[in-house]
Structure 1
Amino acid sequence: MPTPDDSSTGERIKEQRRRARLSQRALAQRIPYSYSLLNQVECGARVASAAFTAAIAVALGIDVTLLTGPSQATGAQHRRLAALVRPIRESLSLYDLAPGGRIPARPVADLVSDADRLCQEVRATHLRKAARALPEVIGDLTLAATTVPTTETWRALASTYRTAHDIAVKLGFPDLAFVALDRMGWAADRASDPCLAAIRQYRRALGHAEAEQGLGRRLVEAGQALVVDLRSREGLAVAGQLHLGASAVAARAGDSSAVDHHIAAARELAERVGGEAPEVHWLSFGQMNVTLHEMGAAITMRRYDDALRQARALKLPPTTLTSRRSRYLVDRALVEMETGHLDASLRNLVAARRTAPEQTRYHPRTRETVTGLLHTSRRTSESLAGMATWIGL
């Protein structure tokens, strides 16, 4: 059954459509989705995906938050998560003040190691553990950067702000994610590090691409301009990741030719990088990353048959980051559901939960897939009912 949050999203779409004095058919002609889907979303029979909601917002010329409403987590979940990220929020708010009452900063090498460890924790999907440790590390690095500033210290501080962004995105706090990216830009400027600044633009593009396709493209282009002359392994990997970001932006705009162009450019750069590059800003850029983004673009453009073929042909190596493996399993579960393979969909969701429970629980596609399975399954199995309860449906 649809959840209260899903139904309210449909109700908000109906309200905003009526305010714009549009019929359902008139609105459907403005979006890359069918009249039937719009009708089902408005009456609460289908869940509104993030891409669908963003397309509605663009068509109506309104901010997407007018349609999304509260976080997708339940009220109790959201309160617990808000308490978890509150110290991070405070540390970002006080970014330009050295922490009072602290002892002199620890050796820079130790601080850099801490920043790298937190990046690794997030990619291992230990989100709560990283969230609890992050404010203290930000404080120590802020103290070091404001007392004995060095390029290395500013880089490490920028890295912790990026970690704050990643945690905020994965736990469903987009407002905090945008603040973290602003702080990352502030620190990257002081480090005079073009690659860090370019990665920030890549993250900004993905954050804005849902509602503003033109802005997403401009942000990617701004990042590309920062690394255009770099020929190092680091520069090539960051440039390749920017092409992957551009492919995601293009997919949300339904521009398949642009998607193909950027995927091809990313593959060529991955060939030049040679193998995966996990050491480059934790991007793990390489051919596997390109293939996963190609599949993601197919999902975004609702080419589920293509995405299913790609997903089933893909064999993730044992060294694949936990966060990436979990995302692949959730994406595959959605594709299997959309193509009518309901048992396979649930199996992939269960595997994603086993692989990375925190990330899977709060991922919007998990909720979208479980809701779809509840609608289309002839009977609700114990496993599906348990999954629904676990994510708060």
Structure 2
Amino acid sequence: MPFPDDDDIGARIKQQRRLARLTQRELAERLPYSYSLLNQVECGRRAATVAFLAAVARALRVDITALTGQPHVSTSPHDRLAILVRPIRDALDVYDLGPVDGLTARPAVVLAEESDRVCQQVRATHLRQASQALPGLIAELTHTAWTAPSTPVWQALASSYRTAADITLKLGFLDLSRLALDRMHWAAERASDPCLAAIRQYKRGLLYKTGHHATGLRLIAAGQQLLAGETSREALAVSGQLHLGASALAARAEDQTTVDTHLNAARELAGRVDGEAADVHWLSFGWGNADLHAFGAAVAMRQYDDALNKARNMKLPGSTMTSRRARFLVDRARVEMETGHLDSALTHLREARTAAPEQTRHYPGTRETVTGLVHLSRRAPDTLGHMARWIGL
């Protein structure tokens, strides 16, 4: 798809190229396109396509809007997201090709810190920022893992693959999330880190929706086996999170007994880690998270009166990550709607949007709740209409 301001786009490419201290030929060598085409686009003699601009943005490590000058590069929300995650897809694809010629990676300790920072960005629901930083980080960590392998490097790479899985899942790319978890397994094995391997099984298990919960529970159980005999605070917190994951899967099967069994086990482990272990792999494990999962289980089993009572008596701890807080608000909105409190439901949706706009917009529960409110409202208020248009309903 060509853009109407191709002359301006050519000028922006030239500007960003110069900021990157690259000649035209040097930039062309980083592209799957010819030097001649790059020259013609910069001069305004050829139109720039979305694919070409995405490649240039990736090579220059800038957001594509720095080249287009537009907030969006496609009229389709899915296309916009596909362009956002394409560099992540590319980074996941080249994991086994060895070192990258000409790449000078930052020191391993800096890369480990950056991996942790990007993971934290996702928990803060800054998905676009994390998406832009992640491909380059994975490239540097992969290069370092091939040239100077060490346990901390493999751990940081596994963590970055986990972040890729989280981002792509939140944006609706389930196949890419599964691929990222496969890469996480590859790196976690080389790190010989049972906790990271168990987290990977936890993430895999939760990808199984209603009707396939038994497979998800098997994966959770496999994660617990990886931690057998481990007694560190880290291992206890990860084991507790696995129990919370199992409770969510059991709730999808409406198996109250299994839900209670795993919630009780998680609470027992929370006591052994002094109540809260929010610092362990950004899992936010603890009593507060157990309460959130109890609420989530009631929602999944359509026990809306019980869920509403739990929500109204719940006080989220200050350590609750923005991503988890926003999801709770959307789920509470659904509960308020199902129990006839339509105004309150809309209020909680707006709070979720304010707290985490990117996540809330793409979370399936938001669309389900907004659709329900539109159906139930005799005359949809303007705020509901705005919300429906915002999610593309």
The answer to whether the aligner puts 1:155 opposite 2:162 as a matched pair is no
Q: How many Å apart are 1:378 and its aligned residue?
A: 1.8
In structure 2, the partner of 1:175 is 175
**Structure 2 counterpart of 1:174, one-letter code:** L
Instruction: Please say if residues 326 and 352 of structure 2, whose CA atoms lie closer than 8 Å, have aligned partners that are also in contact.
Output: yes
Residues 239-254 of structure 1 aligned to structure 2 (within 5 Å): 239-254=239-254
Q: Distance in 2 between matches of 1:177 and 1:114?
A: 21
Q: Deviation digits for residues 179-202 of structure 1, max 9, x if unmatched? A: 000000010000000000000000
Matched position secondary structure for 1:279: coil
Deviates most, 314-323 or 356-365: 314-323
Instruction: Please say if residues 211 and 253 of structure 2, whose CA atoms lie closer than 8 Å, have aligned partners that are also in contact.
Output: no
Matched position secondary structure for 2:276: coil
Matched position secondary structure for 1:208: coil
Matched position secondary structure for 1:380: coil
Long gaps (5+) in structure 1:
1-73
In structure 1, the partner of 2:327 is 327
Scaled by the length of structure 1, what TM-score is found?
A: 0.80
Q: How many Å apart are 1:97 and its aligned residue?
A: 1.7
In structure 2, the partner of 1:363 is 363
The answer to whether the aligner puts 1:97 opposite 2:94 as a matched pair is no
In structure 1, the partner of 2:384 is 384
In structure 1, the partner of 2:186 is 186
Q: Distance in 1 between matches of 2:188 and 2:79?
A: 32
**Structure 2 counterpart of 1:233, one-letter code:** R
Q: Distance in 1 between matches of 2:214 and 2:354?
A: 38
In structure 1, the partner of 2:133 is 133
Q: Could you say which structure has the larger radius of gyration? A: 2
Q: How many Å apart are 1:254 and its aligned residue?
A: 1.2
Q: How many Å apart are 1:389 and its aligned residue?
A: 0.3
Q: Distance in 2 between matches of 1:277 and 1:186?
A: 26
In structure 1, the partner of 2:123 is 123
Q: Distance in 2 between matches of 1:209 and 1:245?
A: 12
Q: Distance in 1 between matches of 2:340 and 2:75?
A: 32
**Structure 2 counterpart of 1:136, one-letter code:** G
Q: How many Å apart are 1:211 and its aligned residue?
A: 3.6
Q: How many Å apart are 1:99 and its aligned residue?
A: 5.0
Q: Distance in 2 between matches of 1:362 and 1:141?
A: 29
Instruction: Please say if residues 278 and 319 of structure 2, whose CA atoms lie closer than 8 Å, have aligned partners that are also in contact.
Output: no
**Structure 2 counterpart of 1:305, one-letter code:** D
In structure 2, the partner of 1:306 is 306
Q: Distance in 1 between matches of 2:98 and 2:373?
A: 50
Residues 1-393 of structure 1 aligned to structure 2 (within 5 Å): 76-98=76-98, 100-393=100-393
Instruction: Please say if residues 89 and 176 of structure 2, whose CA atoms lie closer than 8 Å, have aligned partners that are also in contact.
Output: yes
Matched position secondary structure for 2:387: helix
Matched position secondary structure for 1:373: helix
Q: Distance in 2 between matches of 1:103 and 1:165?
A: 25
**Structure 2 counterpart of 1:354, one-letter code:** T
Instruction: Please say if residues 168 and 177 of structure 1, whose CA atoms lie closer than 8 Å, have aligned partners that are also in contact.
Output: yes
**Structure 2 counterpart of 1:244, one-letter code:** L
Q: Deviation digits for residues 238-280 of structure 1, max 9, x if unmatched? A: 0100000110111111111000000000000001111321221
Q: How many Å apart are 1:321 and its aligned residue?
A: 1.2
Q: Distance in 2 between matches of 1:103 and 1:347?
A: 49
**Structure 1 counterpart of 2:380, one-letter code:** T
**Structure 1 counterpart of 2:332, one-letter code:** R
**Structure 2 counterpart of 1:242, one-letter code:** L
**Structure 1 counterpart of 2:362, one-letter code:** Y
Q: How many Å apart are 1:344 and its aligned residue?
A: 0.3
Q: Distance in 1 between matches of 2:98 and 2:288?
A: 41
Instruction: Please say if residues 98 and 139 of structure 1, whose CA atoms lie closer than 8 Å, have aligned partners that are also in contact.
Output: no
Q: Distance in 1 between matches of 2:210 and 2:200?
A: 17
In structure 2, the partner of 1:18 is none
Instruction: Please say if residues 284 and 320 of structure 2, whose CA atoms lie closer than 8 Å, have aligned partners that are also in contact.
Output: no
Q: How many Å apart are 1:324 and its aligned residue?
A: 1.1
Long gaps (5+) in structure 2:
1-73
Q: Deviation digits for residues 359-379 of structure 1, max 9, x if unmatched? A: 000000000000000000121
Q: Distance in 1 between matches of 2:103 and 2:272?
A: 46
* Percent identity (aligned): 62
Instruction: Please say if residues 99 and 146 of structure 2, whose CA atoms lie closer than 8 Å, have aligned partners that are also in contact.
Output: no
